[in-house]
Amino acid sequence: MNKHIAFIGGGNMARSLIGGMINNGWPVEMIHASDKSTEQLTTLSTCFPGIRTYSDNAEAAAQADIIVLAVKPQILSVVAKELAPAIDADRHLIISIAAGLRSGDIDRWLGGNKAVVRCMPNTPALVQSGATGLFANELVSEEQRNQAESVLRSVGSTLWVKDESLIDSVTAVSGSGPAYLFLVMEAMEEAGVQLGLDRKAARLLSIETAFGAAKLALESDDNPATLRQKVTSPGGTTEQALKVMEDKQLRLIFDEAMKAAANRAAELAEQLGAE
């Protein structure tokens, strides 16, 4: 059974979730959203006729059973503290999609003893192809876990972690991951231009190849290593290209880069949680 849900903050990620939920059959009259920006509220009402919008966060929260914190991480402490009196520990499930903020800090800002699910979605959620890591604190019931998963699954795949520190790993893999793949596409496009293709053609080939490879990996029973081996003929062009990448230690570069991302995620959690 769908619950009333309130989004605190009406930016891109909130809009993507609202759109995904409506596409999956969530009744529009059970969706509420608040934002301090009149422009954001107008956009929400235009994009999703029938949802209820508010300029007051507490008023939106009072209508809901599920509250999604979708404001910028830098202001979440202020927003949560202002929202705290409106949160009912026996009623509300809190879902945070604010990057880098730990569930314990969010719970503290909300007054304590709240059911909090911390999520790390990524930008492909904007086109309903996201990947989201989730962590639930000890006060989240099984029913509430299912509710949180239903919300985030509306924009892609979901994965629960048992240890909250693993959200930093999720951040390094999927949270920041789209940027790594955009860089690969960018590099392939540039190399294609250097090889004589016009930029439009090089870009299209790079993007469609990335899309096709990802789709094949998702739909195949083989893992990526096996798929790579299957398209690498001995003595062929792919083998030569991969040899250069291996010689340049591409795997080591990714290992170091993703460790740096995870470490930075942990540092930001410390800094932002010190409020």
For residues 129 and 16, membership in a common domain is answered with: yes
- 242 is a domain residue: yes
Does the pLDDT at position 1 exceed 90? no
The answer on 120 and 31 residing in a single domain is: yes
CATH number at residue 217: 1.10.3730.10
Quick one: 128 and 17 in the same domain? yes
Q: pLDDT tens for residues 120-152? A: 999 999 999 999 999 999 999 999 999 999 999
My answer on whether 142 and 38 are in the same domain is yes
Task: Report if residue 275 sits inside a domain.
Answer: no
Is 16 a domain residue? Answer: yes
* Judgement on whether residues 164 and 182 belong to the same structural domain of the protein: no
Domain hosting residue 112, numbered range: 5-170
Q: Would you say residue 169 has pLDDT above 90?
A: yes
Q: What is the pTM of this model?
A: 0.92
Whether 155 maps to a domain, the answer reads yes
The region, left, alpha or beta by phi > 0 then psi within -120 to 50, assigned to residue 135 is beta
Among the listed residues 208, 203, 183, the one whose alpha carbon sits nearest the alpha carbon of residue 193? 203
For residues 44 and 131, membership in a common domain is answered with yes
What pLDDT does residue 136 have? Answer: 98
d(C-alpha 148, C-alpha 95), whole Å: 7
**pLDDT for position 2:** 78
Flag whether pLDDT at 275 surpasses 90: no
Based on the structure, what is the number of domains in the chain?
2
Q: Check whether residue 146 and residue 205 sit in a common domain.
A: no
- 165 lies in the same domain as 181: no
Residue 193 lies in a domain: yes
| 185/257 same-domain check | yes
Nearest to 33 by CA among 74, 43, 75, 108: 43
Does one domain contain both 249 and 234? yes
Neighbours of 138 (CB within 10 A): 7
- 48-54 average pLDDT score: 97
- Residue 220 domain flag: yes
Inside any domain, residue 274: no
**Distance, CA of 60 to CA of 79 (rounded, Å):** 13
User: Model confidence over 56-106: pLDDT tens digits?
Assistant: 999 999 999 999 999 999 999 999 999 999 999 889 999 999 988 999 999
Report the alpha-carbon distance of residue 39 to residue 263 in Å, rounded.
36
> Of 135, 170, 205, which closes a domain?
170
Q: Mark which of 170, 199, 234 sits at the end of a domain.
A: 170
Same-domain status, 166 and 33: yes
Burial 99-131 (b: 16+ CB within 10 A, else e): bbbbbebbbbbbeeebbbbbbbbbbbbbeeebb
Within-domain flag for 245: yes
What is the arithmetic mean of pLDDT over 23-32? 95
CATH of the domain at 83: 3.40.50.720
Q: Say if residue 223 is in the same domain as residue 138.
A: no
**pLDDT value of residue 274:** 82
The pLDDT, as a whole number, for residue 116 is 98
**HSE of 134, CA atoms in CB hemisphere, 13 A:** 25
Mean pLDDT of the region 227-251: 97
Pairing label, strands 130-136, 115-120: antiparallel
Strand partners, 119: 134
Average pLDDT, the chain: 96
Residue that finishes a domain, picked among 146, 170, 194: 170
